[in-house]
Amino acid sequence: MTNKINKAESPVQISFVKALMLTLPMMLFTFMILSAGKIPTDPNKIIALAVSFIFVNTIFFLMLYREKTDKYRAALFIAYAVCFVISFISNLIEIRGSMAISQENLLLCKTPFCHIVIPMTIIPLALSKTIIFPGTIIGSFASIASMLIIWIGASLALGRGFCGWGCFFGGLDDGFSRIFRKPMIKHINPKWHYLPFAVLLAVALTSAMLLNPTYCEWLCPYKTVTEYVEVTSVKIFIQTIIFVTLFLGLVIILPMLTRKRTQCGLFCPFGAFQSFTNKINPFEIRVNQENCIKCKQCIQACPAFSMTEETLEKGKTRFTCIKCGKCVDTCPKGALYFHVKGTPFTGNASTYRLLFLYPAFLFLVTMASRNFQDVIIRIIRLITTGSILSL
């Protein structure tokens, strides 16, 4: 096995024309996704469609031509996360007049479903045949059914690549982790790598026992920038303090100090749960050990704590890999590469990378398209009317 890995071919720089030709299919697919199969008539929507189309396809072209995956993925991924927050909060204020959700809204299940709650809903569903999240099954924005279908499709296509290419929250700590050029905290005890699995076990068991999405109720840091329960009691006040504290610590401060995605890698139960889908997913990151000089830059670069000295010796990543491609970009010898399981290790690394990039990039564009265009329309509205809200 090891000898076969050693023979893998490194990626080859492709020409401008070839990169452009390879971008053409993506242009067709992204136009269908961004337009939803229909050309808008509203001038602002036409501008939003045009700007989004040019932006995402420029990113994809540069990804191919420059042979850098994470650098351009991050630009799109972080922009997506920022747009999601702006769009989501604006929508809440337009609909409810506030980011806070009332007890009445909760009882009426007027809560968008979030993929992070999926692990905590599956076990109670299997045991009691009951959906414990206060959201709609079908028929509204971020319904339970639509999010489950998206999750199943993405898991089969990308595994935990969901966290690196599609999670509308992951882009936040990804962005903060890139503010400083060097980490101020360089070593984190490997024992902390198991914490998200402990969180997953705890919230899954408590959710099954109490028939409540306990992570959502007590531990989700992203409630700070999305919706939160209206503070009407001491209990909800304490929960709100926990949300804000976790957001400041795990999504802003620790990513800045460590240059790692600490919420995703050290706490998120969905990330832990999603790691198991890497076992059934066709894509992985491999190490060409013949080229590897053991400089360990890939270990330092990995934002999800998925590359260690032990896994490097085995020529692969931990099963928690989010397939962001940062280790591949960082390696000075081109020793790391995307690989398709079941295919020869002697194959062309550029081909493997392309096979991964098309579904991963399309998934990212699919998830981001609505938020991108909504924020562009809001910017136009701000310039022309002085308000980003359609009130």
Q: What is the pLDDT along the chain (391 residues), one digit of tens a residue?
A: 444 444 455 555 789 999 999 999 999 999 999 999 899 999 999 999 999 999 999 999 999 999 999 999 999 999 999 999 999 999 999 988 889 888 888 888 888 888 998 988 888 888 888 888 888 888 777 888 999 999 999 999 999 999 999 999 999 999 999 999 999 999 999 999 999 999 999 999 999 899 888 999 999 999 999 988 889 999 999 999 999 999 999 999 999 999 999 999 999 999 999 999 999 999 999 999 899 999 999 999 999 999 999 999 999 999 999 999 999 999 999 999 999 999 988 778 899 999 999 999 999 999 999 999 999 999 999 999 999 998 6
> Which two tokens mark 343?
């295919």
Per-residue pLDDT at 364 = 97
| Separation CA 271–CA 199 (nearest Å) | 11
Alpha-carbon distance of 27 to 21, in angstroms, equals 10
CA angle 334, 193, 315 (to 5 degrees): 30
Q: Please state, in angstroms and rounded to a whole number, the distance separating the CA atoms of residues 323 and 311.
A: 15
> Token pair of 180, please?
């400083």
The structure's pTM equals 0.93
| Antiparallel, parallel or unpaired: β 283-287 and 336-340 | antiparallel
The CA distance from 62 to 67, in Å, is 8
Which structure tokens are listed for 298?
């890939």
Helix (H) or strand (E) holding 283: strand 283-287
